[in-house]
């Protein structure tokens, strides 16, 4: 991820970092800043962990934004060991306080791997997503969600009842005064499976036809006629943030969980892959025509 040390240098950059953001973004920002200050002080991660009397695993989690330092730990690190200024300490304490808050998604009991993604998505300005077998979550109807969750034998009815309203609330980002931009590439397979399920087909396909016409949404279909393609290894998403709030991040979900990707080189590879998938997919108008045909002839 790109440097945040500069946030202490100019008022403009500091204002960017201190712009309105949710707790997940704040945790990541805090972790990046602490890591870079530690590296600037030529201090190893084990040494820094020992300085605040915590485990190496917890300290690693702090620097990647999965845990938050206490106020006293922040003072020990920044003032006593990283030799930070009073301004740096004050800025990081402000970020730390916001990082310690709970986002709306915390009330739904989501697993940690999913809550982390939802927290970043909450502050993102753009999502690019590729899906093979399922309609993207941000474009699903409630009936489609329920049907899709019902296929997962690991989820109880109570868990499904929590995840559905959480996903519906995530979709609210697509509307409003400052809507999330969504660029989705979806395999034709996901649409055909939807069309073959009489319980969800009509509403879901109609919803796609409506939402795909929104100015902030681009939906492209990757057709069967393409044959083998570069996305066969699996679905993924990319998150971009406003005003350099955070560097781009990647996300991949799999059978037993999911993980965020913050390695700049890997994120760049995913971005290149998405651009190629988008290029190979049908254009927006051709994609709408295919969805219309599926809806009319299913």
The count of residues in the chain is 298
Distance (Å, rounded) from C-alpha 184 to C-alpha 129? 5
* CB-CB contact of 67 with 23 (8 Å): no
Q: Mean pLDDT, the chain, as a whole number?
A: 91
Residue 144 shares a structural domain with residue 188: yes
Distance (Å, rounded) from C-alpha 147 to C-alpha 296? 21
Residue 119 lies in a domain: no
Residue 277 lies in a domain: yes
Alpha helices in 196-263 (DSSP H): 201-211
Q: What is the pLDDT of residue 19?
A: 56
Instruction: Please give the C-alpha separations between residue 186 and each of 47, 176, 191, 240, in angstroms, as whole numbers.
Output: 47, 25, 8, 19
Distance (Å, rounded) from C-alpha 101 to C-alpha 85? 25
Residue 175 shares a structural domain with residue 247: yes
- Which two three-digit tokens encode residue 59? 């300290």
Distance (Å, rounded) from C-alpha 144 to C-alpha 284? 22
Residue 22 shares a structural domain with residue 134: no
Total-model pTM: 0.86
Residue 167 shares a structural domain with residue 219: yes
Residue 177 shares a structural domain with residue 41: no
Q: What is the pLDDT of residues 112-141, one digit of tens each?
A: 899 999 999 999 999 999 999 999 999 999
Q: What is the pLDDT of residue 107?
A: 93
Give me the CATH number covering residue 30: 1.10.260.40
Residue 105 lies in a domain: no
Distance (Å, rounded) from C-alpha 138 to C-alpha 167? 7
Q: For the chain, how are helix, strand and coil distributed in percent, rounded to 5?
A: 55, 10, 30
Counted domains in the chain: 2
Residue 139 lies in a domain: yes
pLDDT of 5 above 90: no
- Which two three-digit tokens encode residue 56? 């190496």
Say how far residue 20 (Cα) sits from the centre of its chain. 17
Residue 132 shares a structural domain with residue 92: no
For residue 161, count other CB atoms closer than 10 A to its CB: 13
Distance (Å, rounded) from C-alpha 130 to C-alpha 112? 22
Residue 108 lies in a domain: no
Residue that the structure tokens 């930070």 belong to:
84
For residue 264, count other CB atoms closer than 10 A to its CB: 13
Share of the chain above pLDDT 90, in %: 84
Q: Which residues of 14-24 are buried (b: 16+ CB within 10 A; e: fewer)?
A: eebbeeebbbb
Residue 104 lies in a domain: no
Confidence band for 263, pLDDT divided at 50, 70 and 90? very high
Q: Domain of 279?
A: 124-296
* CB-CB contact of 31 with 74 (8 Å): no
Residue 169 shares a structural domain with residue 206: yes
- Which two three-digit tokens encode residue 108? 């739904």
Q: What is the pLDDT of residue 20?
A: 60
3-state secondary structure of 93: helix
């Amino acid at each position: 991820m790109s440097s945040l040390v500069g946030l202490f240098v100019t008022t403009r950059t500091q204002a960017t970092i201190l712009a309105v953001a949710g707790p997940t973004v704040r945790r990541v920002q805090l972790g990046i800043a602490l890591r870079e200050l530690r590296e600037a002080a030529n201090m190893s991660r084990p040494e820094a962990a020992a300085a605040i009397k915590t485990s190496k695993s917890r300290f690693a989690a702090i620097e990647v934004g999965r845990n938050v330092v206490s106020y006293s730990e922040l003072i020990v690190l920044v003032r006593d060991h990283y030799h930070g200024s009073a301004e740096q300490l004050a800025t990081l304490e402000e970020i730390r306080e916001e990082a310690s808050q709970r986002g709306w998604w915390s009330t739904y009991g989501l697993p940690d791997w999913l809550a982390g993604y939802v927290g970043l998505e909450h502050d993102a300005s753009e999502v690019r997503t590729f899906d093979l077998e399922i309609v993207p979550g941000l474009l699903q109807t409630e009936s489609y969600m329920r049907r899709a969750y019902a296929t997962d034998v690991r989820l109880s009815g109570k868990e499904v009842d929590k995840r559905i309203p959480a996903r519906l609330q995530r979709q609210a980002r697509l509307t409003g005064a400052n809507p999330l931009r969504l660029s989705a590439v979806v395999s034709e397979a996901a649409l055909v499976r939807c069309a073959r399920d009489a319980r969800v087909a009509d509403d879901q396909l109609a919803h796609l036809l409506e939402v795909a016409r929104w100015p902030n949404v681009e939906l492209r279909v990757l057709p069967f006629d393409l044959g083998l393609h570069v996305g066969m290894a699996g679905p993924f998403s990319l998150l971009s943030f406003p005003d350099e709030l955070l560097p781009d991040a990647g996300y991949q979900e799999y059978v037993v969980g999911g993980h965020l990707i913050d390695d700049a080189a890997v994120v760049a590879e995913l971005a290149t892959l998405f651009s190629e998938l988008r290029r190979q997919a049908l254009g927006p108008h051709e994609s709408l025509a295919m969805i219309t045909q599926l809806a009319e002839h299913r």
